Amino acid sequence: MSETPETKRELPRNPTRLVPIGSVTVGGGHRIAVQSMCATKTKDVDATAAQVADLVRAGADIVRIAVDAKGDAEAVIEIAKRVPEANLCIDLQENYRLAEILAPHVAKLRYNPGHLHHHERDKPWREKVRFLVECARAGDCAIRIGVNCGSVDPAKLAEYDKEDSISPMLDSALEHAAWLEELDFTRFVVSLKDSDPEKVIEANRQFAEARPDIPLHLGVTEAGLPPDGIVKTRVAFEQLLSRGIGDTVRVSLTVPNPRKGEEIAAAKEIIDDLEHGRTRSVVHYDRSGLNIISCPSCSRVENEAFVELAEQVRDMTQYAKTHAITIAVMGCRVNGPGETDDADLGLWCAPSFVHLKRGEESLGSYPYDEILGKLRGELDALIAARA
């Protein structure tokens, strides 16, 4: 009997090695694990523990929590006690030394190679990674090497043409993977993320070709508001998962805290559609019109008005939807400055004001209730200049 679109089928899978992450194992043909990230303030133990529990009930296999300071680390230890069924992944940014406190209490440590240079600048990155590996080994947890388009190690960027954003990411990921293996640590996964689904496809395709044995975590960073954010992610996931590339995934959406479970639902729907042969007829994301990217809400967002602002930007700019212009709306100072550089116009949000940018150029900072008017003026000027 021939297969019909509704017949469930096994997706092809790269022969990646097994990586235990708490109660879940990724790689080696195990089912594709689904992840999300808390958007509540990490130090608010009650709210964050409640959101972790909500995400687990929604089907999250792994839940990521941002940790920037010792107070966050102490909160995570309590959260882990309250929600023991959750496989927690800790998102370390500059303060990599917090791994020593957290490793015994969590399932995975995530570090960004591009952020290691911010802290203890005189110390070589290999020493910092050695420390992370020692912590992970002692704490019996996994590691994710999380390479992100907007925060690649400056040393890597300097080695390539400015127009080539994929090679520095790929080089960084391969270099860090090789170093972990030299340290005799193989319990790790890699992610290479960009806001452009086509770049996500190409970066992960090249990495999987070079290292088909290493499990990959897939995601389109700053995918934005639903439904467009889901469409962008679907384009990348369909192209990669259908080729056997990807062992764990996240759909990163800009949504209010109570709606974080939508990330899990969207990821599960994409995987289910692929397993039943239901795919989009258009496999490339149309970039001929307006493109709004916005980061997923997380605990680093400094004003919850960021989510509402992203929605207002989407609605206000509908008159320009036929113009090939990219507008980025970022929620914090951690990723905001760097990850708006490649957009035509960028906003990154502070607690009481919003920074406005034109490419890498800063245009000033404005209150939340004034920024839409300023943005519209810049958008109109850009449209007129291109006309």
Could you state, in order of their start, the residue ranges of all structural domains in the chain? 19-275, 291-386
- For the CA atoms of the chain, what is the radius of gyration? 20
Q: In what order do the strands lie in the sheet with 142-148?
A: 188-193, 142-148, 108-111, 88-92, 62-67, 33-37, 248-250, 217-218
DSSP annotation of 352: S
Please identify, in words, the CATH class of the domain defined by 291-386.
Answer: alpha beta
- pTM of the predicted protein model: 0.84
Q: Return the closest-CA partner of residue 240 out of 8, 18, 32.
A: 32
pLDDT at position 300: 74
Q: pLDDT tens track of the chain, all 387 residues? A: 334 456 788 889 999 999 999 999 999 999 999 999 999 999 999 999 999 999 999 999 999 999 999 999 999 999 999 999 999 999 997 889 999 999 999 999 999 999 998 788 899 999 999 999 999 999 999 999 999 988 898 889 999 998 899 999 999 999 999 999 999 999 999 999 998 999 999 999 999 999 999 999 999 988 888 988 999 999 999 999 999 999 999 999 999 999 999 999 999 999 999 998 887 644 455 567 888 888 776 777 777 788 888 889 989 999 999 999 989 888 877 666 767 787 899 998 888 889 999 988 989 999 999 999 999 999 999 999 988
| Equal CATH topology for 19-275 and 291-386 | no
pLDDT at position 292: 85
pLDDT at position 287: 64
Question: Is the Cβ–Cβ distance between 89 and 38 less than 8 Å?
Answer: no
Query: What is the CATH number that goes with domain 19-275?
Result: 3.20.20.20
Q: Return the closest-CA partner of residue 3 out of 245, 282, 279, 275.
A: 275
User: What b-and-e string marks burial along 196-208, b requiring 16 or more CB atoms within 10 Å of the CB?
Assistant: bbbbbbbbbbbbb
pLDDT at position 173: 97
pLDDT at position 322: 92
pLDDT at position 222: 81
386: helix, strand or coil: helix
pLDDT at position 166: 96
**Amino acid present at 128:** K
Beta bridge partners of 367: 353
